[in-house]
Structure 1
Amino acid sequence: MAFRVNKCFHAVGNGTLFSGQIQNIQNSEVFNWLYDCGSTSLKTIGNILTNLPNWFQSHNTIDMLVISHFDNDHVNGLEILLKNFYVKKLVLPFTEWPQSIREISILGKKGITPSIALFQLNPAKWLQLNGFENRINEIVLVKGGENPNSDILESDNNLVDNPDLPIDSTTSVFFEFDTPVQKSTIKLLKINHFQSFKDSSGSFEFMFYNAEKSFSELGLIYEVGGKRFAKKSRQELSIVKADIEKTIISLGLDQHITNLPKDWRKKLKHCYEKHFGKTGEAKNNISLCMYAAPLDLNLQKSRYATLLTGDINLSSNVIDDMEAHLGINRWDSLGIVQVPHHGSQHSWTVGNTARFMPATFVQCATPTKLHPHSKVVTDLASYGARVRVANRQLPVAYSFLY
């Protein structure tokens, strides 16, 4: 054994901040990664991010930061994080720009702040406004969907060297404003979630799972003659995008995020619905999940793998798809499983516990009436599951050698 792994669900309560580090014992090299960086308490997430463990503070570089989705309690610590660390690779779920507009305009103040809204619409512009232009090296967008090439499953793909799908102006997740992400200093890649990759030592594997459906699958976009159109307005998507971008600029969301009109969400929602219709038809299951474990298949019985789930809705169908996506060897190695959405009943189906047993479950929540929900707690207890809770007082930390 030549590597030590330290992992921690930090004490942020309702939110998620998971840190991991792989230490090469022989040469002292490290690989640092984070999954999400937010909490419902800004004070809590701020204190923890500025006082990460010594084994993180001794290296001011995050090799990989994964954001599962853009709800405040999963990403509102990003600004504090970038003040203290340089991020080599920022991994985000591939989210079509109409879906981003829906999230920003519909979810209200509890969903996405103006600052995070701008970050989601154009991270290069957000970095520029906050003075962080040189704090992120590259952004990797992870797209779900069917496996485009079965050979990928057996390859040694690396996120940097093997981008899967090209970025183009029509399907881009971002708005341009006056700072196009594609023309910024940030390297921009898009991959399919079947592409796993390794840490710098080549001994540890990360694999993502994205259950998000496209707007075409949701019935809000249709195609004619190779061109795509919005369902309600029947205008070509390039025209729709230009109209929405004009609205964003008129509101000042691309520049003056601290001095927006009080009804800015309402105006953005109106523009969205003018083209795509009422929002109930656009519900989606957005949360980039991540599997992390040593690569050596001989270690499967040790159950060293961690599954991070964000706020994904773990319906039976999603679990079936996720299990098939990861494959039997990875699935049987799961030792730690994050209960999604802080134990919300809307992200958990009764009987889920049995699908992951004998793994240990981690609840990222400071107990409230609904988080974790009694139905989720009961389901976990009915199977005798081992459950640990990362609340605002106590983290859940563990380490191992391989």
Structure 2
Amino acid sequence: MSSKFKLCNAGQGLFYTGEINLSNRETFKFIYDCGGNNISGAINQHITQGDVIDMLVISHFDDDHINGLPNLFNKVSKIKRIFIPYYRGKEDYLLLMAYVYGNGATFDKVDEIVLVSISEKIEDERDELKDFNEIEIKDFHDIDGYRLPNTKIKKIGNTVLSVEGKWIFKFYNARISTDINTIILDIDNLISNNNCKDLEELLKRNLNAAKVGLRTIYSNYCSSKYNNSKQNQSSLCLYHAPIKKETSGIHLMLDNGVRFGCYFEIYRFGTMLTGDISLKTKKKTENYYDFIKRYEKEAYNTGIFLLPHHGANNNWNSLILEDFMRTPIFLNSSGINNRFKHPGSMVIKELQNNGRIVCFANEYLMVEYYI
């Protein structure tokens, strides 16, 4: 039985889902990002009431990648693990918390939040292959004083996750140096101003003033005032693929109310998901070189590549066409007539001139494929 993947019709944003068929007719369900100007419609269309989500990956915390979380949390019955980037202490975790609680939702249906930290030297990495359900993730004490009610907070490093020995998931996030700690100070002030001893007490008391305060903190922190381009650069990338070689090609569907299907006889079944990361680089010390070191082996097996930052010219690197020379299909998620002019015409022209297939998702069109 085929596994199914969708780049959903979220509009200007990103909402990607996967359903991997396992033994005993069970299905491993995962989501990569959950935001966009049509995210409510996309969630209603693609998520069933009471679903159990095994894994939710948040690439970064811009509104167009997470504004569907309150809706998603209300609709599903459980999310086993949320994976978020971790590169500068508590800030990323607190930013996610501020958005969710600031918009009236909670993490009550979430078992664990896992912070993903990649080692300082990519070339020195030794990946550990661990089963998703059996992996032991150590409790994370650096966030003591900022814990959430009823949710465990943990951390992993260079672990590659497998699902029943059938599918693998491999993470990467850029190493960004920054001294921004404004969000910690603002949350500390919010806690003390509401006469609470810690964040957990503040959240349990469910104060309206706290919600307004957290929503304001999120908005301030993600504004240009705090150089939120670093949020994009630190996007948590995810490669996923079957472990064993498949014997059939990829069945690709485009759907805007009238389904159009096509079949590709390709035998590289990995998918590369890139969030809003910038892969443009001029020096060998910058993001792209770390990215390709991390995915050097996977590049050969990648059949589908999600264009970073909705296909923006400023995030694209022509070296991708060399390093992923066997990747025939590129995906793009952006809104129709969006003010950012995504995707960039330069990127699309270069892909087409090199014989690559580009598939688009927007408010009305989704891309669905089967492996």
User: Deviation of residue 64 (structure 1)?
Assistant: 0.5
1:203 matched to 2:166: yes
Amino acid at match of 1:292: H
User: What residue number does 2:151 align with?
Assistant: 186
Amino acid at match of 1:322: F
User: Deviation of residue 4 (structure 1)?
Assistant: 2.1
Instruction: Output one character per residue of 1:22-78: Cα deviation in whole Å (capped at 9) or x when no partner.
Output: 113x52111001100100x1xx211121221xxx63871011111101111111001
The answer to whether the 8 Å contact 1:362/1:389 transfers is yes
Deviation larger for 301-310 or 74-83: 301-310
What aligned pairs does 1:113-124 form with structure 2 within 5 A after superposition?
Answer: 119-121=96-98
User: What residue number does 1:71 align with?
Assistant: 62
User: What residue number does 2:28 align with?
Assistant: 31
The answer to whether the 8 Å contact 1:354/1:383 transfers is no
User: Deviation of residue 9 (structure 1)?
Assistant: 0.2
Instruction: Output one character per residue of 1:213-233: Cα deviation in whole Å (capped at 9) or x when no partner.
Output: 243xxxx49xxxxxxxx8xxx
The answer to whether the 8 Å contact 2:122/2:290 transfers is no
User: What residue number does 1:45 align with?
Assistant: 39
SS at 2:80 equivalent: strand
Amino acid at match of 1:156: K
Calculate the TM-score normalised by the size of structure 1.
0.71
What aligned pairs does 1:3-402 form with structure 2 within 5 A after superposition?
Answer: 3-24=1-22, 27-39=24-36, 41=37, 44-52=38-46, 57=48, 60-85=51-76, 86-96=78-88, 100=92, 119-121=96-98, 130=105, 132-146=106-120, 152-156=126-130, 158=132, 161-163=135-137, 167-169=140-142, 172=143, 176=146, 180-181=147-148, 184-192=149-157, 194-199=158-163, 201-215=164-178, 220=179, 243-249=185-191, 255=207, 256=209, 259=212, 283=230, 285-296=233-244, 302-316=267-281, 317-328=286-297, 330-359=298-327, 360-368=329-337, 370-400=341-371
Distance (Å, rounded) in 2 between the aligned partners of 1:31 and 1:242: 35
The answer to whether the 8 Å contact 1:64/1:88 transfers is yes
SS at 2:127 equivalent: helix
Calculate the TM-score normalised by the size of structure 2.
0.76
Change (3 A) 1:362 1:203: same
User: Deviation of residue 380 (structure 1)?
Assistant: 1.6
Distance (Å, rounded) in 1 between the aligned partners of 2:7 and 2:39: 12
Distance (Å, rounded) in 2 between the aligned partners of 1:57 and 1:306: 24
Distance (Å, rounded) in 2 between the aligned partners of 1:203 and 1:266: 38
User: Deviation of residue 341 (structure 1)?
Assistant: 0.8
Distance (Å, rounded) in 2 between the aligned partners of 1:4 and 1:153: 28
Instruction: Output one character per residue of 1:348-375: Cα deviation in whole Å (capped at 9) or x when no partner.
Output: 1344333323321001113436201122
The answer to whether the 8 Å contact 1:100/1:121 transfers is no
User: Deviation of residue 19 (structure 1)?
Assistant: 0.6
Alignment size in residue pairs: 331
Change (3 A) 1:61 1:211: same
Identity %: 27
Instruction: Output one character per residue of 1:143-197: Cα deviation in whole Å (capped at 9) or x when no partner.
Output: 1233699684254364763336x6233xx4x872xxx23xx321221011x2101
User: Deviation of residue 281 (structure 1)?
Assistant: 11
User: Deviation of residue 133 (structure 1)?
Assistant: 4.7
Deviation larger for 360-369 or 333-342: 360-369
User: Deviation of residue 381 (structure 1)?
Assistant: 2.4
Distance (Å, rounded) in 2 between the aligned partners of 1:185 and 1:265: 23
Amino acid at match of 1:167: F
Distance (Å, rounded) in 1 between the aligned partners of 2:172 and 2:55: 16
Segments of 5+ residues of structure 1 without an aligned counterpart are 102-116, 222-229, 231-239, 270-277
Amino acid at match of 1:312: I
SS at 2:235 equivalent: coil
Instruction: Output one character per residue of 1:228-271: Cα deviation in whole Å (capped at 9) or x when no partner.
Output: xx8xxxxxxxxx88744343447889743664599x569967xx
Segments of 5+ residues of structure 2 without an aligned counterpart are 195-201, 250-265
User: Deviation of residue 335 (structure 1)?
Assistant: 0.5
Change (3 A) 1:196 1:265: closer
Instruction: Output one character per residue of 1:123-160: Cα deviation in whole Å (capped at 9) or x when no partner.
Output: 6x669x53x45311111110123369968425436476
The answer to whether the 8 Å contact 1:209/1:290 transfers is yes
The answer to whether the 8 Å contact 1:36/1:75 transfers is yes
Distance (Å, rounded) in 1 between the aligned partners of 2:193 and 2:299: 47
Deviation larger for 298-307 or 61-70: 298-307
Instruction: Output one character per residue of 1:296-315: Cα deviation in whole Å (capped at 9) or x when no partner.
Output: 26889711110000000012
Distance (Å, rounded) in 2 between the aligned partners of 1:118 and 1:251: 19
Deviation larger for 70-79 or 365-374: 365-374
User: Deviation of residue 323 (structure 1)?
Assistant: 2.3
The answer to whether the 8 Å contact 2:98/2:214 transfers is no
SS at 1:90 equivalent: strand
Distance (Å, rounded) in 2 between the aligned partners of 1:190 and 1:159: 15
